[in-house]
């Protein structure tokens, strides 16, 4: 598959923040069998993230408030990159920041890494006080940060969009015009959980990001809308648990998918979804997986 220059052996990637650096999953599956992995959100400086509790389980999903805990881009380049260097798949780094210059500096560092063919620019994290989602909720700021990163980042630039907007198509158009090579959607949906017994919020941050099957219908709708608005490829994510879910996203217009929260339920699920997609194609006598992209019959 050709995702606007990024070659994938299959359409299945793993979502940032749900797959560590891939290494955590080596015991469960052959990480290199995937189309790609998108590693943990990385920022210019180390971040401790939010206080515990960071997790609320809800019906058909979970709300997290991790807050981009990571050791910073220098640590990634020095200590993590050598460990993921030999994966025979696309290792993309999810890049986040609290101001444009942070995004730019981080992207510049990643640009130097030979075996990292792209970044996923995270302008949609709901769990950080400054930056993050703020960049992804207005066309102007989304365009500005993507333009700035585009100046310094020469490889595949994927931009991850927030669902916490009135019109996601407008944002997608803005980042496309700013030079994005692809968009991935959706990030988590802003949500909260309350413990009625204690009358307190479950999360330390009160609100967090909802993921899992609970958000799949929203994600499908947004992929469908964005596919009508932009020409660049779409990577669909949000509650994919099965190969059938992945196929639905592709029918709605996604060229590839990311598996997120499902990795927590079954650490081998991504490889199983690859096999499930192959099975689907065989059952339907489809020789080219690309032919199902946007193949929704309406």
**Catalytic residue positions, numbered:** 125
In the list 2, 5, 7, 24, the residue contacting another protein (rule: CB under 8 A) is 24
Provide the H-helix boundaries in 96-215: 100-111, 139-152, 168-177
> Binding to another protein by residue 18, rule CB under 8 A?
yes
Tokens, residue 242: 């099965």
Q: Is 64 in the site for another protein (CB under 8 A)?
A: yes
Nearer to another protein among residue 17 and residue 253 (C-beta) = 17
- Looking at 72, 179, 201, 267, which residue binds another protein (CB under 8 A)? 267
Nearer to another protein, 65 or 222 (CB): 65
Q: How far apart are CB 236 and another protein at their closest, in Å?
A: 21
Query: Comparing C-alpha atoms, which of 152, 19, 159, 41 is closest to residue 87?
Result: 19
Whether the Cβ atoms of residue 87 and residue 66 lie closer than 8 Å to each other: no
> Does 195 participate in binding another protein (rule CB under 8 A)?
no
Q: Which of 43, 187, 263, 270 binds another protein (CB under 8 A)?
A: 263
Neighbours of 133 (CB within 10 A): 20
User: Cβ(116)–Cβ(60) under 8 Å?
Assistant: no
Name the residue among 125, 226, 130, 126 with its Cα closest to residue 183. Answer: 226
Size of the site for another protein (CB under 8 A): 29
Q: Site residues (CB under 8 A) for another protein?
A: 17-20, 24-25, 48-49, 51-55, 57-62, 64, 66, 69, 212, 261, 263-267
């Amino acid at each position: 598959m050709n995702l606007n220059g990024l070659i994938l052996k299959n359409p299945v990637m793993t979502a940032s923040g749900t797959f560590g650096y891939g290494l955590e999953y080596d015991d469960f599956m052959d990480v290199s069998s995937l189309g790609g992995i998108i590693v943990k959100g990385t920022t210019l400086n180390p971040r401790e993230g939010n206080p515990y509790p960071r997790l609320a389980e809800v019906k058909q999903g979970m709300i997290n408030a991790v807050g981009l805990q990571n050791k910073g881009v220098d640590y990634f380049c020095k200590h993590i990159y050598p460990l993921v260097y030999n994966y025979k798949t696309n290792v993309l780094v999810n890049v986040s920041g609290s101001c444009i210059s942070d995004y730019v500096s981080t992207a510049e560092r990643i640009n130097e890494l030979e075996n990292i063919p792209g970044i996923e620019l995270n302008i949609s994290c709901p769990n950080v006080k400054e930056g993050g989602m703020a960049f992804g909720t207005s066309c102007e700021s989304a365009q500005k940060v993507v333009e700035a990163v585009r100046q310094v980042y020469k490889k595949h630039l994927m931009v991850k969009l927030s669902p916490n907007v009135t019109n996601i198509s407008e944002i997608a158009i803005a980042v496309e015009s700013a030079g994005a090579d692809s968009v991935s959607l959706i990030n988590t949906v802003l949500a909260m959980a309350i413990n009625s017994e204690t009358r307190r919020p479950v999360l330390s941050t009160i609100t967090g990001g909802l993921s899992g099957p609970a958000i799949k219908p929203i994600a499908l709708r947004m992929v469908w809308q964005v596919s009508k608005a932009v020409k660049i490829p779409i990577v669909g994510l949000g509650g994919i648990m099965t190969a059938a879910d992945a196929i639905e996203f592709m029918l709605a217009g996604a060229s590839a998918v990311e598996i997120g929260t499902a990795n927590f339920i079954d650490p081998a699920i991504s490889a199983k979804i690859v096999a499930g997609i192959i099975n689907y194609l065989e059952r339907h006598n489809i020789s080219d997986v690309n032919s199902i992209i946007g193949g929704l019959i309406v």
